[in-house]
């Protein structure tokens, strides 16, 4: 099943970096809204070590059509070698909100 709208997640090491990425995403109309949540505690394995950094989570509301360009921009601006960039479909939502996502991501 194909979905038109997605939520994309990425984590960053600082609020400053998250704000920089969020502003560029919005300037390029690659998303309608981005929430920055944090600080959060992440725990993961990286290069055979358990890491426990403090991070900030970006919740990015956009369209599936914008995903690849969004992914490329995040990779370009992100300080991590392999940043978390994942997307999940929005299976339903308030029509007016989804219309706003469409409107906000049009060039």
CATH code of the domain containing 87: 3.30.70.120
Query: What domain range is 24 assigned to?
Result: 5-104
| Rounded distance between C-alpha atoms, residue 1 and residue 27, angstroms | 30
Q: What percent of the chain has pLDDT over 70?
A: 97
Q: What's this model's pTM, rounded to 2 decimal places?
A: 0.93
DSSP 80: S
Number of domains in the chain: 1
pLDDT in tens, 54-106: 999 999 999 999 999 999 999 999 999 999 999 999 999 999 999 999 999 99
- The string of DSSP codes covering 2-56 is --SEEEEEEEES-HHHHHHHHHHHHHTTS-SEEEEEEEEE--EEETTEEE--EEE
């Amino acid at each position: 099943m194909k979905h038109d709208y997605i939520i994309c997640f990425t984590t960053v090491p600082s609020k400053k970096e998250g704000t920089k990425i969020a502003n560029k995403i919005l300037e390029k109309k690659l998303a309608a809204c981005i929430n920055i949540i944090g600080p959060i505690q992440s725990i993961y394995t990286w290069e055979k070590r358990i890491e426990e950094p403090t991070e900030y989570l970006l919740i990015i509301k956009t369209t599936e059509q914008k995903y690849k360009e969004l992914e490329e921009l995040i990779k370009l601006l992100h300080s991590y070698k392999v940043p978390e960039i994942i997307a999940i479909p929005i299976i339903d939502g308030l029509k007016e909100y989804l219309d706003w996502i469409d409107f906000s991501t049009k060039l």
